[in-house]
């Protein structure tokens, strides 16, 4: 590999030229081109579409698109699309979904759908005066954003409120306009940011032109205008519940009562211990992110949101809670989820579009409930394994095909390995030894 040097004007080069540049660095332009080209779509229209989604696109990076079937949510059956690289996630979601489908299913409810954004600004006048100016300022801000909000208002959304937040105690002359939104079925990031930027411009103009203000009061320094990915008021709850007897079938040698008690302790540990809480919540996001990707939603925003919510008490905790009462086991997930089913990638990306079709073209609220159920299912599956067999048994079984592929096993070798490891513990060294033994037999 050659020494790396700054590349100027990379985005202006054609795709061929970009690949040549990459080739100059590795000394194998032809190889790079062949490899990157092999992952491009035959369908030119669809490939052009993917190329335009991001900057400097050279090829496509494939991830498995699968389905976790049989999610009974509020008495409605869904087969949930998931995009994920971790081999055991869809298997775990499907296993939990199947179990709960015959034990009452998932019950889900959208608690609220409010999103927000902020204009952060510096104003050096007297805060009392700012409060006095607020009603007029707000009126101006609503007027200024009328055009941008028209379509959204027709779809039942729009700006819900504008609040002035005084943070001058924490930073000199620092205020926020905290604006709340209903973005209907869209995630709404572009809509919110457009509104906020328009408000920021209008606010500067308002102070500049307001009669009777001093020179100091006419100056408003806008620091930034941006949506918040923390949406504690865009909240969904999802739970499963059954009698302790119904859990008898979960694991041989463990009664339903014993299983529930152990499960509850494991869940409590994730409320008490931050190291465990991170892993526990990661297991929830295994399901959530996979649905987010399969439906064209922004999984980074979803994660940031969930993690802040998990820390809202001042300590990072699990997003779930288990309880046992009157011989019944109940497990609940409560978390904010800001999702969209229109706009953005949801209709642009052919597979995201298909994912949403598979779910029956849900509203954003419905998708919140479906996604939460996937998160709860994955987390239930993880805890179920952790408190019974341990996680590695299932994980390594699912990982077996990855190991076989990394050892370049052919069809016959894979077949024999699957049979051999059906009831054995899988590890890299064991699989490697097995494949070696098959190959030496053949020599
Ligand atoms: C692995 O991707 C997720 C788990 O670690 C989650 C958990 O520990 O709860 C199995």
**Cα 303 to middle of ligand 1, angstroms:** 16
Ligand 1 atom closest to the Cα of residue 379 is 9
From the CB of 341, is ligand 1 less than 6 Å away?
no
Q: How far apart are CA 287 and CA 280, in angstroms?
A: 12
Burial class (CB in 10 A: 0-12, 13-18, 19+), 331: buried
Residues 383 and 249 in one domain: yes
Shared-domain flag, residues 313 and 279 = yes
Ligand 1 centre distance from Cα of residue 282 (Å): 6
Domain end among 227, 251, 275: 227
Q: What is the DSSP string of 386-421?
A: HTTT-SHHHHHHHHHHHHHHHTT--HHHHHHHHHHT
Are 105 and 239 members of one domain?
Answer: yes
In a domain, residue 2? The reply is no
Q: Are residues 338 and 307 in the same domain?
A: yes
Is 25 domain-assigned? yes
Q: Is 52 a catalytic residue?
A: no
Q: Is 147 inside a domain boundary?
A: yes
Same-domain pairing of 384 and 400: no
Out of 276, 279, 281, 399, give the residue to mutate to test ligand 1, the one with the largest number of ligand atoms within 8 Å of its CB: 279
pLDDT along the chain (443 residues), means of 10: 78 94 84 94 95 95 98 98 96 98 98 98 97 98 98 97 98 98 96 98 98 96 98 98 97 97 98 98 98 98 98 98 98 98 92 97 98 98 96 80 92 93 87 94 78
Mutate to test the pocket of ligand 1, among 270, 386, 396 (most ligand atoms within 8 A of CB): 386
Sign of CA dihedral 295, 101, 306, 279: negative
Assess whether 269 and 409 both reside in one domain: no
Q: Is the pTM of this model over 0.85?
A: yes
Cα 183 to chain centroid distance, Å, stands at 18
DSSP 7: P
Does residue 269 line the site of ligand 1, with CB under 6 A? no
Q: Is 393 in the pocket of ligand 1 (CB under 6 A)?
A: no
Cα-based torsion angle of the residue sequence 196, 199, 204, 207 in order, rounded to the nearest 10 degrees: -140
Point out the ligand 1 atom lying closest to the alpha carbon of residue 280.
Answer: 9
How far apart CA 265 and CA 288 sit, in angstroms, is: 24
pLDDT in tens, 78-130: 999 999 999 899 999 999 999 999 999 999 999 999 999 999 999 999 999 99
- Give the residue from 227, 251, 276 where a domain finishes: 227
Q: Is residue 211 part of a domain?
A: yes
Closest CA to 210 of 140, 296, 313, 276: 140
Range of the domain at 405: 395-442
Together in a domain, 78 and 146:
no
Q: Which residues contact 344 (CB under 8 A, 6 or more apart)?
A: 186, 187, 189, 190, 296, 297, 298
Tell me, yes or no, whether 74 and 208 share the same domain: no
298 flagged as catalytic: yes
Burial 146-162 (b: 16+ CB within 10 A, else e): eebbeebeeeebbbeeb
Residue 138 shares a structural domain with residue 267: no
Closest to 142 in 3D by CA, of 180, 112, 174, 114: 180
73 touches 369 (CB < 8 A)? yes
**Is residue 120 assigned to a domain?**
yes
State yes or no: is 349 an active-site residue.
Answer: no
- For ligand 1, whether the C-beta of 391 sits within 6 Å is yes
CB of 280 shorter than 6 A to ligand 1: yes
Question: Does the residue 418 lie in any domain?
Answer: yes
* Residue in the block written with tokens 């229109």: 342
- Domain endpoint, select from 227, 247, 276: 227
Q: What pLDDT score was predicted for residue 24?
A: 85
Count of domains forming the chain: 4
- Return the residue matching tokens 């973005």: 183
Say how far apart CA 163 and CA 179 lie, in whole Å: 6
CATH number reported for the structural domain that contains residue 217 in this entry: 3.30.70.420
Q: Say whether both 257 and 183 belong to one domain.
A: no
Q: How many CB atoms lie within 10 A of CB 83?
A: 23
Lookup: tokens for 247: 């859990």
CA of 277 to the centre of ligand 1 (A): 10
Catalytic annotation, pick one of 20, 24, 76, 86: 86
Q: Is there a single domain that holds both residue 241 and residue 290?
A: yes
Name the burial class of residue 431, with classes exposed (0-12), middle (13-18) and buried (19+) by CB atoms within 10 angstroms of its CB.
buried
Identify whether 59 is part of a domain: no
Q: Cα 267 to the chain's mean position, in Å? A: 22
Same-domain status, 237 and 214:
no
Rounded CA-CA distance 241/105 in Å is 8
With a 6 A CB cut-off, is 183 part of the ligand 1 pocket?
Answer: no
The DSSP line for 46-115 is HHHHHHHHSSS--S-----EEEEEEEEETTEEEEEEEE-SSTTHHHHHHHHHHHHHTTT-BEEEEEEE-E
Answer yes or no: is 351 within a domain.
yes
């Amino acid at each position: 590999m050659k020494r790396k040097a700054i590349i100027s004007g990379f985005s202006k080069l054609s795709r061929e030229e970009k690949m040549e540049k990459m080739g100059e660095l590795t000394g194998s332009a032809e190889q790079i081109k062949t490899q990157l080209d092999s992952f491009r779509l035959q369908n030119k229209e669809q490939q052009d579409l993917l190329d335009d989604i991001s900057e400097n696109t050279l090829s496509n990076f494939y991830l498995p698109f699968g389905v976790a079937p049989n999610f009974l949510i509020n008495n409605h059956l869904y087969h949930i699309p998931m995009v994920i690289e971790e081999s055991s996630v869809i298997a775990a979601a499907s296993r939990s979904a199947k179990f709960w489908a015959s034990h009452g299913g998932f019950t889900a409810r959208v608690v609220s759908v409010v999103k927000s954004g902020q204009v952060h600004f510096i104003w050096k006048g007297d805060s009392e005066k700012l409060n006095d100016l607020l009603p007029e300022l707000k009126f101006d801000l609503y007027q200024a954003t009328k055009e941008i909000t028209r379509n959204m208002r027709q779809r039942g959304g729009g700006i819900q409120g504008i609040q002035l937040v005084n943070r001058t105690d924490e930073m000199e002359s620092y205020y926020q306009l905290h604006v709340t939104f209903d973005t209907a079925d869209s995630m709404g990031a572009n809509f919110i940011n457009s509104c906020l930027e328009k408000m920021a411009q209008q606010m500067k103009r308002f102070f500049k032109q307001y009669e009777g203000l001093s020179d100091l009061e006419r100056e408003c320094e806008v620091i930034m205008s941006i949506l918040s990915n923390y949406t504690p008021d865009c909240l969904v709850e999802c739970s499963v519940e059954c009698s302790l007897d119904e859990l008898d079938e979960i694991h041989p040698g463990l009664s339903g009562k014993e299983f529930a008690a152990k499960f509850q302790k494991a869940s409590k540990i994730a409320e008490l211990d931050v190291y465990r809480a991170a892993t526990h919540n990661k297991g929830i996001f295994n399901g959530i992110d996979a649905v987010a990707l399969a439906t064209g939603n922004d999984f980074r925003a979803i994660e940031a949101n969930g993690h802040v919510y998990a820390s809202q008490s001042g300590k990072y905790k699990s997003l779930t809670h288990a309880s046992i009462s009157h011989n019944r086991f109940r497990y609940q997930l409560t978390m904010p989820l800001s999702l969209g089913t229109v706009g953005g990638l949801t209709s642009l990306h052919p597979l995201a579009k298909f994912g949403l079709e598979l779910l029956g073209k849900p509203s954003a609220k419905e998708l919140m409930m479906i996604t939460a159920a996937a998160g709860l299912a994955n987390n239930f599956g993880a805890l179920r394994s952790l408190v019974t067999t341990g996680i590695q048994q299932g994980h390594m079984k699912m990982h077996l095909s990855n190991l076989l592929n990394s050892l370049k096993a052919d069809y016959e070798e894979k077949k024999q390995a699957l049979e051999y490891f059906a009831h054995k513990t899988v590890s890299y060294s064991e699989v490697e030894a097995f494949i070696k033994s098959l190959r030496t037999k053949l020599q």
